[in-house]
């Protein structure tokens, strides 16, 4: 199943995604932005049929159906049938919609077939663990359920939010680590970031109330670490301190 992450993260300082205006045959102006994940799912289900088409005409028919799905978000009045879409949009406009909506790029000036251009436009859903990404962003506590999240965010918005969340989490870890004299950003000779073990050991000291500074020690399996692991002291695991 084809998939493209729309927008350009390198423009994060000024924009999260690309947008554009298109015009219907009657002159109606519509703003086009990346599809919300709710509609992107339906779009990609329809787009997957491009792979099975035999001719460019068949491929174009699939792309028109994809445009119809897009209209559910942009202009619901013409999203009920293929005929409505064909009456209101020409093919150059449809190609522009597909580009902004889901990163599907079609250039009629190229010798490559429409089908091949569409299929080669991006990676696949399999390359992205969407459920995991959504779960991580959902922890922000902004949305009441995943359906509301998918109605609210496009893929560029999801990825931008996730990137900032991870940066903030890393900044907090750096601050807490610095209090313990650990530099999480220091790199070792093999290019790996130092401090990860120190970070885990520091958490072990906290969770064990100073009884161990080794993250591999069973005493570190307490509190949040035990909850995350699914077992630990107080969660089906007990121990006896023989030092007493």
Residue that finishes a domain, picked among 61, 93, 127: 127
Read off the pLDDT band of 80 (50, 70, 90).
very high
Q: What is the mean pLDDT of the chain?
A: 77
Question: What percentage of the chain exceeds 90 in pLDDT?
Answer: 39
In a domain, 133, yes or no: no
Q: Which of 92, 77, 99 is nearest to 28 (CA)?
A: 77
The residue-averaged pLDDT of 136-145 equals 91
Higher pLDDT pick, 12 / 53: 53
Structural domains in the chain (count): 2
The residue-averaged pLDDT of 92-99 equals 94
**Domain span at 170:** 139-237
Higher pLDDT pick, 146 / 244: 146
Question: What percentage of the chain exceeds 70 in pLDDT?
Answer: 66
Residue with tokens 């130092």: 194
In a domain, 242, yes or no: no
Q: Does pTM top 0.75 for this prediction?
A: no
Helix (H) or strand (E) holding 31: strand 29-32
Residue 67 has pLDDT above 90, yes or no: yes
- Residues 115 and 196 occupy one common structural domain: no
Q: Apex CA 133: angle with CA 131 and CA 138, to 5°?
A: 90
Residue that finishes a domain, picked among 127, 152, 169: 127
- Residues 149 and 212 occupy one common structural domain: yes
- Residues 32 and 55 occupy one common structural domain: yes
Q: Provide the sign of the torsion angle of the four alpha carbons 158, 106, 82, 1, taken in this order.
A: negative
pLDDT of residue 84: 94
- Residues 7 and 118 occupy one common structural domain: yes
Q: Using CA atoms, how far apart are residues 138 and 132, in angstroms rounded to an integer?
A: 10
- Residues 118 and 181 occupy one common structural domain: no
- Residues 37 and 90 occupy one common structural domain: yes
pLDDT of residue 185: 67
Q: Using CA atoms, how far apart are residues 88 and 213, in angstroms rounded to an integer?
A: 68
- Residues 11 and 85 occupy one common structural domain: yes
- Residues 11 and 122 occupy one common structural domain: yes
Residue with tokens 């779960």: 135
């Amino acid at each position: 199943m084809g998939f493209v992450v729309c927008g350009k993260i390198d423009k994060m300082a000024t924009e999260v995604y690309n947008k554009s205006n298109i015009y219907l045959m009657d002159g109606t102006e519509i703003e086009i932005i990346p599809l919300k994940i709710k509609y992107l799912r339906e779009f990609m289900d329809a787009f997957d049929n491009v792979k099975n088409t035999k001719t460019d005409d068949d491929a174009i028919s699939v792309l028109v159906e994809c445009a119809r799905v897009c209209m559910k978000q942009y202009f619901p009045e013409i999203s009920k049938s293929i005929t409505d879409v064909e009456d209101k949009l020409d093919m150059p406009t449809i190609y522009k919609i597909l580009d902004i909506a889901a990163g599907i790029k079609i250039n009629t000036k190229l010798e490559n077939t429409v089908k091949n251009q569409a299929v080669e436009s991006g990676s696949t859903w399999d390359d992205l663990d969407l459920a995991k990404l959504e779960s991580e962003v959902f922890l922000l506590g902004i949305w009441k359920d995943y359906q509301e999240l998918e109605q609210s965010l496009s893929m560029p918005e999801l990825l931008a939010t996730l990137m900032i969340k991870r940066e903030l989490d890393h900044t907090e870890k750096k601050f807490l680590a610095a209090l313990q004299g650990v530099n999480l950003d220091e790199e070792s000779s093999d290019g790996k970031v130092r401090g990860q073990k120190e970070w885990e050991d520091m958490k072990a000291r906290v969770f064990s109330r100073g009884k161990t500074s080794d993250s591999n020690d069973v005493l570190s399996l307490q509190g949040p670490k035990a909850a995350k692991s699914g077992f630990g002291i107080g969660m089906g695991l007990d121990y006896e301190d023989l030092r007493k």
